[in-house]
Structure 1
């Protein structure tokens, strides 16, 4: 039985099928719905500066390098705040923190509304842009919260839906911007539309979501996950996938404007396509990983990302807008596939480690859930830092060469390293031991991560 007390549920056992079928599933789905809404708007606010810079013409006095630096810093804040947001659910409660984190989105939105006009200094835009980074933290707290509501057999679907619903906030705000630009509206119209949506998300979370008393902040799990080499290896691979997704989401429109002389409207017509397809295909990456193994899908996905990036280099050098746009959209799709396959690997890796330690059945499941849950927060935060690198690389490339070609060469090298790491750690034979100390002894069964 559950005993709500001030929107707190004192007893929650989703693994009990009788409880789940009687009341648990209905409550969990309701919380998932309003969690997705809040996270979706959080992603939109986090990435709103990728749209606002398209409105900022010569009268704003900002160079392309200034704009790339601005979006880099927004991405940086969004990555850093994911760490405290991961643990805020246990401190405040899932429903309470969703209300707080949604309401906090008013701060960067109202601030941007106030300063968005020619004559505002770059330092002011930078300061206000930094505030928008808090929208990136909503993903971490939302995933942590929803993870606690669903049984193990349902987590993949629930977390995939939660993540996809949030990621789609990127193309949605770009589509809204396209409509506003097409109607000759300004950036304040866009910001004004989101202010009531933020209020609605906070109010709905307060009315319809719940806190789980059973959720507690296990700092020991975070410490143990941080000490495990696989947490940092997967963080690096997630830089290559999600870091690319969020970095390109910020940079695509600016590259089209600065390298191909697209107008804001012309850029907005295509910038939303890549993030939209990349968001929608994320669950497909997870499904393919379920069927063929996350490490295998991740490996071949990095191969494909390298090929797409090589095509982008050719298109950039030849100034072929059509080829460049198609290759960039394909690269977005591949980042989405990689997001799904890499996140699928995380629980599989720690489950394999549990078996290597001699744990079985419920003990192995508990070990895997404990460490993978903590690792996901750290991996999500570090992975988002890739978006900072993407925008800084574009900034330097345009400063040095006047185009994004140099940046794409650097990205190609990065994907090659990601591919090599995936093969060496998770697919090479003999497989490494769970503690990462080297090949498993011949007399013991070798631990393989190929199917994680």
Structure 2
């Protein structure tokens, strides 16, 4: 990585954004790795399991709009402070009072949605410090907080076996508290903060068709990533009769692949352009999801398909956010909220539909095939807009960055 990148922005804020995002994502998907144990104790149906793990994803998606607005109104650092306090309070309440019904799990899921909304804060907090030619790398590093989902899958099931799944909520408060302290001390708002926008200006962005394209593209890459991250522990448990701990390890391996390569996706997009990167990622994802839908004979073969699926989706996440700040530099706060919301809605759809499809048909195939179809649609859509994007806002006259 060029040394010019580290001189261009504010490294303590970049790293604070990463840690805040990382730990937020860890608790955002916490119900997924614990789902096998919670569902056993509360006697949940496959559809209820699907809805339980999908609720934080949907809540996080919708709250990203609220947090995106808050970022523009009171600046990213203050918005992030409020979000972290709500998440800590939600987990503390769940730990002290327990989850005794399906409805309780949904209420906790809504509280954890604020952790998923961290995306709409952490990315503008980091982005505003960096020039256009370093956006892919900066947002790739901040966005690598996706890796928090690895920690949830890796540690939550085994901690639940050792201490009971309810105590995992209490244990999660320890790293959350440490990161909150680091965030308060080291994160700083960029002096180049755009002025707050009125509600009518937010609505005006939705009249721009490019905003809708970005929302759709991210609903496939990030939606696929977080939807699978939330569902894979159940998937491995159902299909291969793996215990919650081993299923959690398999999920962690898949999620780690998708998180690790997000910055690589951003860097590749900086080098060859976000459009070219995304076209390759969607095509590969569609093929791999099609193969995955048939169900592999062993969990090892399943891993050989799902790990690359998560990797290409992760790189796609980085590539989308190489393009967004170039097109919507002045509206990056609200666009991060809108695009992030769309990604979360995609994740909710995937996680919830897998549960319902399994209950209705006894198989996950239709749910996975439909998502493969969305990747094909994204490829077709991107092919349709690429020439206009490259000759208008992405032309060499307008930007030093590659589109």
Provide TM-score, normalisation by structure 1.
0.79
Q: In the alignment, is the contact (CA less than 8 A) between 2:30 and 2:152 conserved in 1?
A: yes
Secondary structure in 1 aligned to 2:56?
helix
Conservation of the 8 A alpha-carbon contact between 1:87 and 1:141: no
TM-fit CA distance, 1:189: 3.4
Aligned counterpart, 1:44 = 26
Partner of 2:255: 275
Please tell me the root mean square deviation across aligned C-alpha atoms, in Å: 2.8
Q: Cα deviations across residues 380-424 of structure 1 (Å, max 9, x unaligned)?
A: 211221001101220221111112112112112211211111112
Tell me, yes or no, if structure 1 residue 99 matches structure 2 residue 59. Answer: no
CA–CA distance in structure 2, aligned partners of residues 241 and 218 of structure 1: 29
- Name the SS of the counterpart of 1:170 in structure 2: helix
Give the counterpart of 1:343 among 289, 301, 321: 321
Q: How many pairs align? A: 392
Q: Is the 8 A contact 2:120 2:333 kept in 1?
A: no
Larger RCO, structure (CA 8 Å, separation 6 or more):
2
The answer to whether structure 1 residue 251 and structure 2 residue 211 are counterparts is no
Name 2:354's counterpart in structure 1: 394
Shift of 1:431: 7.9
Matched, 1:234 2:214: yes
TM-score (normalised: structure 2) = 0.88
**Change beyond 3 A, Cα 1:63–1:152:** same
Verify: 1:414 aligned to 2:374, yes or no.
Answer: yes
Cα shift at 1:97: 2.8
Q: 1:87 to 1:179 in 2, by over 3 A?
A: same
CA contact (8 A) 2:86 2:111 kept: no
Contact 2:254/2:303 (<8 A) preserved: no
Shift of 1:373: 5.3
- TM-superposed deviation, 1:187: 1.4
What is the match of residue 357 of structure 1? none
Q: Measured at CA, do residues 253 and 207 of structure 1 come closer, stay the same or move farther in structure 2, by a change above 3 Å?
A: same
Give distance in 2, aligned partners of 1:407 and 1:332: 16
1:200 paired residue among 153, 156, 178? 178
Larger CA Rg, structure 1 vs 2: 1
* Deviation string, structure 1 residues 52-96 (Cα, Å, up to 9, x no partner): 213225332111211101122211100011112113234333333
Using the alignment, how far apart are the partners of 1:155 and 1:291 within structure 2?
12
Kept in 2: contact 1:174–1:268 (CA 8 A): yes
Counterpart contact for 1:238–1:379, Cα < 8 Å: yes
How far did 1:236 drift? 0.6
**Whole-angstrom CA distance in 2 between matches of 1:372 and 1:93:** 12
1:264-297 alpha-carbon deviations (Å, 9 max, x no partner): 1220121101111111101211222223222122
8 Å contact kept, 1:226–1:375: no
Gaps of 5+ in 1: 1-16, 351-367, 436-446
Judge conservation of contact 1:34–1:205 (CA < 8 Å) in 2: yes
C-alpha spacing 1:226/1:174, structure 2 compared with 1 (3 Å): same
- Please say if residues 35 and 98 of structure 1, whose CA atoms lie closer than 8 Å, have aligned partners that are also in contact: no
Q: Secondary structure at the match of 1:288?
A: helix
Matched residues in 1 for 2:325 and 2:179: separation? 31
Matched, 1:169 2:167: no
Q: Does 1:332 align with 2:310?
A: yes
1:296 is the counterpart of 2:256: no
Matched residues in 1 for 2:373 and 2:134: separation? 37
How do residues 30-429 of structure 1 correspond to structure 2 at under 5 angstroms?
A: 30-116=12-98, 120-164=100-144, 166-181=145-160, 184-211=162-189, 215=193, 216-219=195-198, 222-314=202-294, 316=295, 319-348=297-326, 350=327, 369-371=329-331, 374-426=334-386
Aligned counterparts of 2:208 and 2:323: Cα–Cα separation in 1: 15
Unaligned runs of 5+ in 2: none
Cα offset for 1:122? 1.2
Q: Secondary structure at the match of 2:162?
A: coil
Give the Å deviation of 1:259.
Answer: 2.4
Give SS of 2:44's match: coil
